[in-house]
């Protein structure tokens, strides 16, 4: 049995909003191959786009490992939208078409993100990128989830939420309803627009042009303006208020899932959560207050966690040693892939 | 000359979001014919839909007057979206196709709404229906406009804005991030949904169903939940806070256009503005405070104002007597049309 376990190889996939990552892992936690592809979130990439990204990243990882496809004994795919009632069979079919054998399991990206930070089975996780969501993990399962309700209805404190407030603050300021803000110049520069003194029908022409430009975006694309709030937040009161409100909203989402009786780390991921934690402490005070003296682990994505879940589903225990080996060897492949990207001629 | 003026007949059209209204008016302000059609707002009804609604209402009004089409000497169409750079020629063409002669002018619905309340040339106007906008009127022209920037970027205090907050409050409450609120039961009843104890992936199933239902609406359709805030606002603190925030936002929009040096009434129109003014005074306090002791005139729509503008464009002065005749005779046609609708068999 010992031999059978050590030769097992699993495929782990983390289907993220902008990048899908895959790794081939052996039973000791050693990463043998790594690959990436485009966005694999079925909500933003579409169902077919997500399937194609999962297949492309998986193929790259298996090819990189030098292994035959049929030697991969099982796969685990971590994906957002699991709560939106995905059809796992279609993903399994996609991987079988690549020549993979064995079970294919789908898990929530939230659980994978948590396990990218720890192999322990209790704690909480907060993710804020374009969207935002938090969960309590109990006995290795998603016990309670808060937010993740999308741009229109929630995702408070997310990149969309911040970018939307930036856009509204700039529109209100140009409209004479809101205070002047440094965000206006930043946003107009981002959109390659200039303030002109001309007016039309009782309004500044630049406001009409800005409104046209913003309604031509899909609403979620307003998240591209979130970085402006962090850029201006140190000096500009309007921007600082937006970042503080985001910190407060994220604290509220985290508080909705935490159980003071349960010990365990708070795993935090996503570009916006990282930016809030890196903001001046006074501006991000509500989130720091909510975290208190808890153990906080920042993670980059859900790939290591997908590997943890994949190993466990295959009956392979993941202890501290295996987890550490996973972290180190996945990081090695990731760094190699990054420096290769940097060396490649830019388009 | 006196004779020439008195036989002049003009067509006035108010192209509103849900209803387009038209009237045939003589030089003394007497309404001779009245007609209505569907929504004539080019933003919500589409450009062709708006043109068709204007033509249908115009045709009904002319037919009702018993006049020959060619005896109408000019027309004035009041329409939202003028600030969105409409093409007036297409509307003129539509009316010429009906057999109308003479000049066709397009004016902003805001200016018509103001003149539905007064024939004076200075003051301000605030409209809040699905959207919200305010303007300062100086010397009979739109001098300064605030908001009207649409559901995504502004329209603060509007029906959409309130309905969106109602939806977010209910989602947050079911999600454990927000306080309980009477709005939840009202909204679920409105959507024919029931609270069930079942959970899926760490969330209440009713929340997942509600999210599905709400994302299936066009965002602006969230305005249908605005009445729930007024319904619950007298008792429920969450609903009351939403109405108070709307009153405050509308006060801010009005303040952005008012000039304390300029005398003149504040004309207020739109179903949401009416509902805020009819709410318990404590709940709507910010708007009452902004209005202070100013002369406030509530109006129903922009039809009378379109007639005022049409008469003036035709060189016919509109004094207090003409204005009063307009109000009385348009109201008579309107009441007759309403009681006819009530008597008609329901579908």
pLDDT digits (tens, 9 = 90+) for A164-216: 999 999 999 999 999 999 999 999 999 999 888 888 878 899 998 999 999 99
Residue spans per domain, chain A: 2-119+299-343, 150-298
pLDDT confidence of residue A83: 45
- All residues of chain A having their beta carbon less than 8 Å from the beta carbon of residue B156 are 172, 177
Instruction: Tell me B346's DSSP state.
Output: P
pLDDT confidence of residue A82: 55
| Complex prediction ipTM | 0.84
Q: Which of residues 83-102 of A touch B (CB under 8 A)?
A: 83-84
- All residues of chain A having their beta carbon less than 8 Å from the beta carbon of residue B225 are none
Query: What's the half-sphere exposure (Cβ side, CA atoms, 13 Å) at B221?
Result: 7
Q: Domain A2-119+299-343, what architecture? A: 2-Layer Sandwich (3.30)
pLDDT confidence of residue A175: 93
d(CA B239, CA B183): 7
Nearest to A211 among B135, B144, B149 (CB): B149
Q: Which residues contact A17 (CB under 8 A, 6 or more apart)?
A: A39, A41, A44, A45, A80, A129, A130, A131
Section B137-154 average pLDDT? 92
The pLDDT tens digits of the residues spanning B280-292 come to: 999 999 999 999 9
Neighbours of A4 (CB within 10 A): 10
Question: Between chains, do B83 and A200 touch, taking CB under 8 Å as contact?
Answer: yes
Closest approach of chain B CAs to the CA of A31, in angstroms?
Answer: 30
pLDDT confidence of residue A249: 98
Does any CB of chain A come closer than 8 Å to the CB of residue B256?
yes
CATH annotation of B150-298: 3.30.420.40
Section A90-103 average pLDDT? 77
Q: Which residue from A182, A169, A179, A174 is spatially nearest to A199, judged by alpha carbons? A: A174
Q: How confident is the model at residue B82 (pLDDT cuts 50, 70, 90)?
A: low
Which pTM value belongs to this model? Answer: 0.87
Section A20-33 average pLDDT? 96
Closest approach of chain B CAs to the CA of A221, in angstroms?
Answer: 12
pLDDT confidence of residue B5: 46
Query: What's the half-sphere exposure (Cβ side, CA atoms, 13 Å) at A298?
Result: 10
- CA nearest A254 in B: which residue? B177
Question: Between chains, do A215 and B142 touch, taking CB under 8 Å as contact?
Answer: no
Mean pLDDT is lowest, of B31-35, B82-86, B184-188, B289-293, for B82-86
Q: Which residue from B63, B149, B54, B128 is spatially nearest to B278, judged by alpha carbons? A: B128
Mean pLDDT is lowest, of A131-145, A225-239, A271-285, B39-53, for B39-53
Question: Between chains, do A145 and B252 touch, taking CB under 8 Å as contact?
Answer: no
Does any CB of chain B come closer than 8 Å to the CB of residue A200?
yes
Instruction: Tell me B193's DSSP state.
Output: -
Average pLDDT, chain B: 90
Buried/exposed A5-39: b ≥16 CB within 10 Å, e otherwise: eeebbbbbbbbbbebbbbbbbbbebebbbbbbbeb
- Residue A235 CA: distances (Å) to CA of A134, A160, A228, A274: 30, 22, 12, 19
Closest approach of chain A CAs to the CA of B168, in angstroms?
Answer: 5
Does any CB of chain B come closer than 8 Å to the CB of residue A274?
no
Closest approach of chain A CAs to the CA of B253, in angstroms?
Answer: 6
pLDDT confidence of residue B345: 55
Section B235-264 average pLDDT? 93
Q: Domain B2-119+300-343, what architecture? A: 2-Layer Sandwich (3.30)
Nearest to B214 among A152, A156, A167 (CB): A152
Are domains A2-119+299-343 and A150-298 of this chain identical in fold?
yes
């Amino acid at each position: 049995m010992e031999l059978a376990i050590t030769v097992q190889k699993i495929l782990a996939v983390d289907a993220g909003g902008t990048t899908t990552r895959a790794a081939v892992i052996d039973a000791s936690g050693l990463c043998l191959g790594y690959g990436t592809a485009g966005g694999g979130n079925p909500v933003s990439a579409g169902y077919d786009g997500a399937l194609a990204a999962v297949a492309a990243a998986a193929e790259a990882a298996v090819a990189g490992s030098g292994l035959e496809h049929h030697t991969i004994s099982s796969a685990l795919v971590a994906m957002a939208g699991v709560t939106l009632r995905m059809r796992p069979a279609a993903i399994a079919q996609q991987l079988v078409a690549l020549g993979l054998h064995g079970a294919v399991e789908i898990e929530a990206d939230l659980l994978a993100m948590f396990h990218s930070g720890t192999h322990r089975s209790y704690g909480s996780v907060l993710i804020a990128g374009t969207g935002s969501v938090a969960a309590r993990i109990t006995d290795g399962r998603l016990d309670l989830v808060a937010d993740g309700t999308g741009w229109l209805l929630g995702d408070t404190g997310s990149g969309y939420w911040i970018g939307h407030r930036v856009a509204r603050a700039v529109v209100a300021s140009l409209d004479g309803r809101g205070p002047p803000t440094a965000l206006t110049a930043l946003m107009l520069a981002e959109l390659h627009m200039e303030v002109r003194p001309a007016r039309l029908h009782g309004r500044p022409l630049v406001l009409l042009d800005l409104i046209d430009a913003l309604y031509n975006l899909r609403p979620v694309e307003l998240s591209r303006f979130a970085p402006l709030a962090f850029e201006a937040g140190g000096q500009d009161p309007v921007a600082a208020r937006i970042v503080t409100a985001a910190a407060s909203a994220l604290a509220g989402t985290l508080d909705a899932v935490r159980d003071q009786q349960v010990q365990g780390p708070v795993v935090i991921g996503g570009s916006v959560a990282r930016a809030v934690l890196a903001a001046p402490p006074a501006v991000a005070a509500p989130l720091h207050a909510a975290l208190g003296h808890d153990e906080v682990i920042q993670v980059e994505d859900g790939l290591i966690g997908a590997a943890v879940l994949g190993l466990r589903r295959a009956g392979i225990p993941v202890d501290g040693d295996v987890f550490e080996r996973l972290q180190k060897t996945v990081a090695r492949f990731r760094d190699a892939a990054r420096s290769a990207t940097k060396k490649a001629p830019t388009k």
